[in-house]
């Protein structure tokens, strides 16, 4: 066992926090309890010292540069939402869209497609898609749980494989670093592209969204939530506690304001445009080509510039065009701040417990267990599962990638395993936790901008994530045993053919579960979706 890990005990804080969150539905208390347990272990099992160290750990994580910028982004997002509600622009745009959307299926498809189109950044995609589509999905009685799932499954899974995104620079940089240390003379960016067909989990998660929406299938807790919404008109369960209160009636548009659809559209376009420019400029454009510039982009700075610019434009619109008094604007901004206070607290504690898990050595422990069973044939599947477990435990895909790359890439190289498949397994396995862990920032933001109960979102999404993850594991096993290198009638099978088999398997499994899963069984975690 590596000296830098506490062994199986390293899993205790995150697992305790996750289970307690799902059982008690007390997110903040559960997360802090997990932090306290981890801190107590780190200070030598002294519970008093652990309590003091817990507070220091929270401070350390909140004041870390990237995290503090994301918290400021969240506060400014709240301010922007408050001003948008005051302008009435969201309602005006929603009415124009509703006039063209006639069915629940069209509303769900529109949400999914919009989430995929904003592929530059997962945070921006979640915020924009959730803000635009929430009143529309409410109109067609789509549950908030389903909206949160659509947001979560068309942001990170898409952004992680997009050639132009805030993720590409980090991912290519990790590949380049390992290639340099191993003396591999290959283009890191080319291998990144080659790994995309092997991102089985990411691609299957997106495919499952469209299978479920087009076929109108659901299973497990989500089926109960959707039945409640369709039959009772309740987009939220009776006991639900939305992560953010986004009711527009809390901020009243002045009677004299003639709300325009562009009051909402203009700030959103500004947000996207400034964020995109910020990514390129912070990475060295125009001296560097756009793709090269994105590799070194300052993601947190770019999204911060984007949301600040959107707020500034909204202020100008409200005061200059809509003739709203500054006092009313100030009140709306303050209401927006109040909307995001709880998500800010959740994010702060989620980051901290992820940091505690890393300090206890979750990554080295899982890797040490995985190394004991790795063969060239099993390597892709084992790497995928190890990355999935780590990412679920620490709630960050980037942190998991940083843990896995220095171990898995040299191991794959030594064993002679194909590098694109191994790298694809790392990148898509690392996404699993980012996609569905209760302590992941993107999971929290999906609940936030969907206006959903966070525990309900996790409960309803995990079965879908597990289905995609199970099929992805099977595909990695098939790839490890050489199926992707076989030829049939002179044609190579390849990873895309494997992916096609995976999508078909996903289709059949989703159909079976939608028809035969017993929806009368109470949710094991006490979801309010029942």
Tens-digit pLDDT profile for the chain (530 aa)?
344 667 778 878 877 877 776 677 676 788 889 899 999 999 999 999 999 999 999 898 888 887 788 788 878 888 887 898 888 887 787 777 777 888 899 999 988 988 887 776 677 678 778 878 888 898 899 999 999 999 999 888 888 887 666 576 667 767 877 787 778 887 777 888 889 999 999 999 999 999 999 999 999 999 999 999 998 888 888 887 786 665 555 677 888 888 888 888 888 888 878 888 888 888 888 888 776 776 677 777 887 898 899 999 999 999 999 899 999 999 989 888 887 776 677 768 877 877 787 788 776 776 677 666 677 888 899 889 988 988 887 777 877 777 778 778 877 887 788 888 889 999 999 888 778 888 787 888 888 888 888 889 999 999 999 999 999 999 999 988 877 665 554 455 578 888 999 999 999 999 999 987 654 434 444 444 44
| pLDDT value of position 166 | 59
The pLDDT assigned to 520 comes to: 43
Decide if 354 contacts 394 (C-beta within 8 A): yes
453: which strand partners?
242
CA separation, residue 67 to residues 54, 79, 510 (Å): 17, 18, 37
- Rounded to 10 deg, the angle between the 379-394 and 12-24 helix axes is 60
Tokens encoding 502: 């995976």
pTM of this prediction exceeds 0.95: no
328's tokens: 């009313």
Alpha-carbon gap, residue 17 to 457, rounded angstroms: 16
Position 48 scores a pLDDT of: 92
Q: What's residue 283's pLDDT?
A: 81
**DSSP structural state of residue 8:** G
Check residue 528 and give its pLDDT.
46
Which pLDDT score is estimated for 156? 82
CA gap 118, 293 in Å, rounded: 19
Q: Which residues contact 464 (CB under 8 A, 6 or more apart)?
A: 149, 153, 205, 208, 212, 220, 222
First CA to last CA across the chain, in angstroms? 44
- Residue 188: C-alpha distances to residues 50, 409, 420 (Å): 43, 12, 10
- Residue 133 CA: distances (Å) to CA of 87, 97, 151, 271, 449: 17, 9, 10, 17, 10
Which string of DSSP letters, residue by residue, matches 48-87? HHHHHHHHHHHHHHHTSHHHHHHHHHHHHHHHHHHHHHHH
With residue 491 as reference, give the H or E element that holds it. Answer: strand 491-492
């Amino acid at each position: 066992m590596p000296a830098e890990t506490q062994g199986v005990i390293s899993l205790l804080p995150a697992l305790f926090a996750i289970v307690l969150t799902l059982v008690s539905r007390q997110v903040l208390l559960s997360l802090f309890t997990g932090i306290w347990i981890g801190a107590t272990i780190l200070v030598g099992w002294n519970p008093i010292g652990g309590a003091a160290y817990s507070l220091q750990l929270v401070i350390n994580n909140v004041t870390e540069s990237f995290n503090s910028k994301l918290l400021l982004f969240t506060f400014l997002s709240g301010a922007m939402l408050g001003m948008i509600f005051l302008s009435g622009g969201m309602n005006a745009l929603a009415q124009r869209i509703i006039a063209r959307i006639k069915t629940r299926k069209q509303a769900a498809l529109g949400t999914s497609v919009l989430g995929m189109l904003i592929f530059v950044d997962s945070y921006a995609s979640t915020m924009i898609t959730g803000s635009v589509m929430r009143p529309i999905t409410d109109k067609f009685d789509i549950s908030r749980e389903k909206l949160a799932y659509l947001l979560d499954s068309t942001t990170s899974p898409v952004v992680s494989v997009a050639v132009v995104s805030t993720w590409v620079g980090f991912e290519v940089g990790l590949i380049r670093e390992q290639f340099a240390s191993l003396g591999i003379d290959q283009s890191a960016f080319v291998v990144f592209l080659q790994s995309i067909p092997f991102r089985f989990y990411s691609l299957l998660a997106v495919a499952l969204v469209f299978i479920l929406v087009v076929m109108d299938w659901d299973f497990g807790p989500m089926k109960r939530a959707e039945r409640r919404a369709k039959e009772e008109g309740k987009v939220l369960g009776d006991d639900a506690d939305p992560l953010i209160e986004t009711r527009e009636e809390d901020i009243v548009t002045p009677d004299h304001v003639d709300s325009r659809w562009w009051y909402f559209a203009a700030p959103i376009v500004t947000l996207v445009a400034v964020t995109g420019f910020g990514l390129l400029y912070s990475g060295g454009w125009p001296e560097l080509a756009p793709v090269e510039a994105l590799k070194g982009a300052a993601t947190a700075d770019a999204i911060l510039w984007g949301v600040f610019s959107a707020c500034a434009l909204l202020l100008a619109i409200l005061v200059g065009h809509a003739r709203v008094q500054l006092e009313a604007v100030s009140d709306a901004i303050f209401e927006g701040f109040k909307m995001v206070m709880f998500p800010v607290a959740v994010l702060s504690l989620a980051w901290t417990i992820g940091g505690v898990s890393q300090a206890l050595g979750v990554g080295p422990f899982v890797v040490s267990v995985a190394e004991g069973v790795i063969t060239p044939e099993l390597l892709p599947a084992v790497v995928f599962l190890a990355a999935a477990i780590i990412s679920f435990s620490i709630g960050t895909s980037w942190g998991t990638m940083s843990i896995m790359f220095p171990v898995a890439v040299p191991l794959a190289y030594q064993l002679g395993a194909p590098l694109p498949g191994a790298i694809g397994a790392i990148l898509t396995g690392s996404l699993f936790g980012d996609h569905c862990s209760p302590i992941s920032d993107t999971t929290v933001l999906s609940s936030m901008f969907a206006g959903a109960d966070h525990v309900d979102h996790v409960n309803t999404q995990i079965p879908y994530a597990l289905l995609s993850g199970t099929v992805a594991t099977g595909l990695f096993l098939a790839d490890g045993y050489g199926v992707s290198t076989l030829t049939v009638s002179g044609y190579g099978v390849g990873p895309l053919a494997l992916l096609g088999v995976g999508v078909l398997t996903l289709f059949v499994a989703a159909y079976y579960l939608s028809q035969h899963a017993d929806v009368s069984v109470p949710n094991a975690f006490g979801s309010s979706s029942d």
